[in-house]
Amino acid sequence: MKPSTLRIGYRYRPKRLAQDYDAVVIGSGMGGLTSAALLSELGWKVCVLEQHYTAGGYTHSYERNGYEWDVGVHYIGDVGTATRTRKMFDFLSDGKLQWSPMAAEYDRFYIGDKVFNAVAGKQAFRDNLLRQFPDEEAAIDRYMELLSQVSGGLSAHAMDKVLKPWQQKLAAPFMSLKKPKYLYRNTYAVLSELTDNQDLIATLCGQWGDMGLPPKQSSFLVHAMIARHYLYGGYYPVGGSWKIAESIIPRIRKAGGEVFTYARVTKILAEAGRVTGVEMADGHIIECECVISSAGIANTFGDLLPAGVVAKFGYSQDLPKVGPSFAHLGIYVGLRQTAAELGLPKTNFWIYPDNDYDAAVEKFVADPNAEFPVVYISFPSAKDPDYENRHPGTATIEIVAPAPYAWFAAWDDTTWGKRGEDYEAFKAALGERLMEHLYEKLPQLRGRVDYYEVSTPQSTNWFSGYQQGELYGLEHTADRLKQDWLGPRTRIPGLWLTGQDTLTCGVTGAMMAGMLTTMAIVGMRRMGPLMKEIYGGE
Ligand SMILES: Cc1cc2nc3c(=O)[nH]c(=O)nc-3n(C[C@H](O)[C@H](O)[C@H](O)COP(=O)(O)OP(=O)(O)OC[C@H]3O[C@@H](n4cnc5c(N)ncnc54)[C@H](O)[C@@H]3O)c2cc1C
């Protein structure tokens, strides 16, 4: 069989390792790759260890039956102009990563039998909301003001994480001025002070699936961050999401580092109160005094570190304060016609039973036969101008919906592809229900689907190295965001953290986390000139 070009990275073998890495990174998601690439730029030789068969974490893509799908990237915001986000992507990829804009209507929300949407551009977004809710001008304008105001708060939240504990204490009065209290309140509470129009609140929260918590449970900080992120529209990486990692890896190699796949770390080693390296699944030990874990909090503290070290450094008390985000189902659909022929849009669909998102989640968790609280449909081949060059005459669709991990826990000790008939039947039934949502919105597709497959939270664990099928690592409650131990620094000398658990979810969230981790490791004096190079004179 022809090897897939989508498989990137270098297959791990102990003899392929160099002797003297300056840093070892566990996990090749956006967080890990960003830290590795920035450190490489500063002259470090970095070894990235990825347990999967390909690099990229949730930015990887896979091929089957002549189709190609992304597992964790549907749209990225803030890359249409020379923003800081765009400049960082440009730097990491050496300008190779290209972005294709989605339709001006990037998100469409089907809320019960009503349809609302979000369109690109700050003023257009506001005017479009007003067209949909003509009596809500004051609330809409106040909402736009809040989005503008949170910018400083978001930066302060991020920068706080780079500071050493004594610096945090010193900066606390200044930082608290920058971080308005409403950032850490729940989203619904903040929005219901602006309006009692439940359809408007539901429309503003129509992207709750982008962080995995409905508005009465999520923090306004993350809500605002996501709303701002997409305010100028959604963009798709030309060539598919795997291009993100593919374009970053050369930077790591240029400095003598490597990204190894099939490279599962089983232990973070510690001796005399500091981290000394990692142990691989084959028993091989890689010694290194700087270990960066982007494998997530649950893996790092729950599995990889010795329990005694976790307890000694006080993490046993911290861990119960955070929990996993929702798990999810993924449907990967292939069709033997092009996106244009099938009339597939460059707009994401969000389908909700009604405007009470929290109640719908509660019902669903209690009863698997209740309606899905949210069904998200994305049309990657329509968004990617290069898709047809790679897979002529075909199109793809991806559907994502939440699913409690508990429903799948019975298959914890089974292997991918061999989980048994009961598992296959359960997932097939869930898949059929989700496909009906697709046909209901795009009836022309009925009878035209060539192939589809369903992933479950067990697939997420298997391929992406999670423990409970987490969609976004730790759940994004306000309490989680207040945990000051979630950041690049750990109390264990030699161990650093990065990725979505240290800042927020999202490819950009993980990328920014990667930057903060690098900053924390090398210090501002070394990072300053690099930031200047990346961001220019700003
Ligand atoms: C269905 C879905 C849709 C999404 N859609 C979007 C979107 O449209 N836009 C957006 O911005 N974000 C989206 N996201 C979120 C985004 O993909 C993630 O927040 C982000 O990519 C996380 O990056 P990370 O580096 O923190 O973690 P990950 O990408 O999860 O990387 C962690 C890596 O660590 C590896 N690992 C774990 N344990 C070990 C070990 N012991 N040894 C070696 N390696 C290990 C894993 O295999 C994994 O590759 C989506 C996520 C999902 C699941």
- Secondary structure of 84-110 in the HEC alphabet? HHHHHHHHHCCCCCCEEECCCEEEEEE
Q: Is the dihedral of CA 505, 511, 516, 518 positive or negative?
A: positive
- Examine the pLDDT at 4 and tell me if it is beyond 80: no
- CA-wise closest residue to 231 among 143, 149, 350, 120: 120
The reply to whether 132 falls in a domain is no
Give me the percent of the chain exceeding a pLDDT of 70: 99
**34: CA distance to ligand 1 center in Å?**
13
**134: CA distance to ligand 1 center in Å?**
40
Average pLDDT, the chain: 95
The reply to whether 142 falls in a domain is no
Ligand 1 atom closest to Cα of 513? Answer: 26
Over residues 337-341, mean pLDDT:
97
The reply to whether 365 falls in a domain is no
**511: CA distance to ligand 1 center in Å?**
11
Question: How many Å separate Cα 376 from the centre of its chain?
Answer: 15
What pLDDT, on a 0 to 100 scale, did the predictor assign at position 538? 67
What the block records as the tokens of 427 is 């997932």
To 10 degrees, the CA torsion angle through 210, 303, 463, 478?
0
The reply to whether 426 falls in a domain is no
Confidence of residue 175 (pLDDT cuts 50, 70, 90): confident
Over residues 261-285, mean pLDDT:
97
Over residues 57-78, mean pLDDT:
96
Are 30 and 59 contacting, i.e. CB atoms less than 8 angstroms apart?
A: yes
Q: Where are the alpha helices (DSSP H) in 255-320?
A: 297-299, 307-312, 315-318
**272: CA distance to ligand 1 center in Å?**
32
What the block records as the tokens of 183 is 């950032």
Residues within a 6 A CB radius of ligand 1 = 26-32, 49-52, 57-59, 72-76, 263-265, 294-295, 299, 328, 330, 400, 464-465, 471-472, 499-500, 505-508, 510
What pLDDT, on a 0 to 100 scale, did the predictor assign at position 465? 86
pLDDT in tens, 295-308: 999 999 999 999 99
Number of H helices, E strands in the chain: 21, 21
What pLDDT, on a 0 to 100 scale, did the predictor assign at position 2? 46
What are the φ and ψ backbone dihedral angles of 102, each rounded to 5 degrees?
Answer: -80, -175
Confidence of residue 177 (pLDDT cuts 50, 70, 90): confident
Nearest CA to ligand 1 atom 51: 72
Nearest CA to ligand 1 atom 45: 27
The reply to whether 521 falls in a domain is yes
**47: CA distance to ligand 1 center in Å?**
19
Boundaries of domain holding 93: 10-97+239-322+486-535
Nearest CA to ligand 1 atom 17: 72
- Examine the pLDDT at 178 and tell me if it is beyond 90: no
The reply to whether 463 falls in a domain is no
**Residue of 51, 58, 278 with the most ligand 1 atoms within 8 Å of its CB, for mutation:** 58
What the block records as the tokens of 129 is 């909301």
The reply to whether 525 falls in a domain is yes
What the block records as the tokens of 350 is 């969000």
Q: Which of 238-242, 263-267, 395-399, 533-537 has the lowest mean pLDDT?
A: 533-537
Ligand 1 atom closest to Cα of 328? Answer: 1
pLDDT in tens, 242-260: 999 999 999 999 999 999 9
Element (H, E) at 350: strand 348-352
Q: What is the CATH number of the domain that holds 512?
A: 3.50.50.60
Over residues 169-188, mean pLDDT:
86
Nearest CA to ligand 1 atom 10: 506
Confidence of residue 453 (pLDDT cuts 50, 70, 90): very high
Nearest CA to ligand 1 atom 1: 72
Confidence of residue 1 (pLDDT cuts 50, 70, 90): very low
196 Cβ contact list (under 8 Å, min separation 6): none
CA-CA distance, 194 to 444, in Å (whole number)?
Answer: 40
Domain count, the chain: 1
User: ∠290-492-161 over CA atoms, to 5°?
Assistant: 85
- CA-wise closest residue to 505 among 211, 302, 214, 176: 211
The reply to whether 388 falls in a domain is no
**464: CA distance to ligand 1 center in Å?**
7
Nearest CA to ligand 1 atom 35: 27
